[in-house]
Each structure stands twice: as structure tokens, then as C-alpha cells.
Structure 1
Amino acid sequence: MIRQDDTGVEALRHGEYKIPGGKLVVVDLRVAQGRLRDVQLSGDFFLEPPEVLDAINAALVGLPSDAGATALEAAVRAALGPDVVMYGITVEGIAVVVQRALA
């Protein structure tokens, strides 16, 4: 795993989280100049419609790398439409896996 140094050089991060009673959630992302970049959420969960995964990834891009759970959850919730159904994954679980990647 590549870490960001004090000069703000880009860092690749990886996190995993098994949601209790749910599925494995994985995130790969980059940190550049203190912001999340190239966020890619994956795992053995399901989303309906499937396109919402792109919206979740996009919602996390640009957030500060020191964003707390509340800010991460708010960004994800803002990306979810009223008809989105999440199987084996939660908004809170997404925040946890991102925080693990950044730890």
C-alpha cells in the first residue's frame, strides 16, 4: 500500500469490511492533496439499480481525507435516489470501509 507523504504526493489506499449479517465491502481509492480521488467501491453486495454504484463512487470523490463517518454517510445518502435498494450493504458500512482505507 502506498501512503501519502508530507508533500501531498498521491497515495493509493485499500480497505475491506465485512458488514455484520451482510456482505464484504471493499474500497480502493487515491488520496491527493488531502482529498479522495478515484474511489472504487466493490464487493459481494448488490444495488438496485446497479448504476447507483457509480453515483456513490462519485459522491465520495473530492471529500477531505480526514472526513468523519457523518460526512461520508451524508455524501453517500445524497447519492441514493428514493428507489435504491441495497442488499448486504449499508451506508454506515460504506463509511467504515472508507475510514479503514484511510487509517
Structure 2
Amino acid sequence: MIGQHEMDGAALRHGEYKIPGGKLVVVDLRVEQGRLRDVQLSGDFFLEPPEALDAINAALIGLACDASAAALQAAVQAALGPDVMMYGITIEGVAVVVQRALA
């Protein structure tokens, strides 16, 4: 499902992606002046530690809305420490759901 709405001058976007062999990943975000804002990743996946979700959201904020999948993946990877465990979600899947929201 992909959606877009206008509110406060910023385009609201929504994307969903079922990770193959994994879980549903959902993203809601705004696009302002060609940049990602208010990124909120959610779904039925698990991250350890839980704070990793905030790190992923923060890593995506400010990226160009035309960023490549590789650039999205690199930003997420850079935000995650070596101790982060991802269950039912992948860095690649995060990039896919963001790109779906922006399509």
C-alpha cells in the first residue's frame, strides 16, 4: 500500500513491504524541500536493543527523497552498532519500504 497526503505544506507518504521470509515493515514519512522528515518505521519485526529503531529513523531523516537504495542502506548501516540484532527485518528491506513510500 502506498499513499500520499498534503498537510502543513509537507507531503505525507506511506509505504509497506513484506520482507521475504520475514515480517511486515511499514514507514510513514514527510517530504519537505526534497528531504525526508518525520520518518517513523514500524511493523511486526523485532530489534535488539529496541533503541535501534530510533537510530534507524534518525538516520533516514534529512536524506534526499531521490536517494538510491544503496545510499538508504548505507545510512541505516552506519546508524546501527555491531551489537544490534534484527529479527524479521533487513537493512535492504528498510530501503525498499522507503522507496515504496516515495514512489
The TM-score range, normalised by the shorter chain, is over 0.9
**TM superposition shift of 1:19:** 0.3
Q: Tell me the distance in 2 between the aligned counterparts of 1:3 and 1:72.
A: 24
Q: Tell me the distance in 1 between the aligned counterparts of 2:25 and 2:56.
A: 13
The root-mean-square deviation of aligned C-alpha atoms, in Å, is 1.2
SS at structure 1 position matched to 2:56: helix
Q: Which residue identity is paired with 2:21?
A: G
**Is it true that 1:74 corresponds to 2:77 in the alignment?**
no
Q: Tell me the distance in 1 between the aligned counterparts of 2:65 and 2:55.
A: 19
SS at structure 1 position matched to 2:5: coil
Q: Tell me the distance in 1 between the aligned counterparts of 2:17 and 2:94.
A: 8
**TM superposition shift of 1:47:** 0.1
Q: Tell me the distance in 1 between the aligned counterparts of 2:62 and 2:90.
A: 21
Partner residue, 2:5: 2
1:17-56 matches, within 5 Å, as: 17-56=17-56
SS at structure 2 position matched to 1:71: helix
Higher share of residues assigned strand: 2
**TM superposition shift of 1:10:** 1.0
**TM superposition shift of 1:25:** 0.1
Q: Which residue identity is paired with 1:81?
A: G
**Which structure 2 residue ranges, 5 or more long, are not aligned?**
none
Q: Tell me the distance in 2 between the aligned counterparts of 1:3 and 1:90.
A: 30
SS at structure 2 position matched to 1:2: strand
Partner residue, 1:92: 92
**TM superposition shift of 1:3:** 5.5
SS at structure 2 position matched to 1:76: helix
Extract structure 1 runs of 4+ deviating beyond 6 A: none
Q: Which residue identity is paired with 2:10?
A: E
**Which structure 1 residue ranges, 5 or more long, are not aligned?**
none
Q: Tell me the distance in 1 between the aligned counterparts of 2:15 and 2:81.
A: 25
Identity %: 82
Q: Tell me the distance in 2 between the aligned counterparts of 1:85 and 1:15.
A: 23
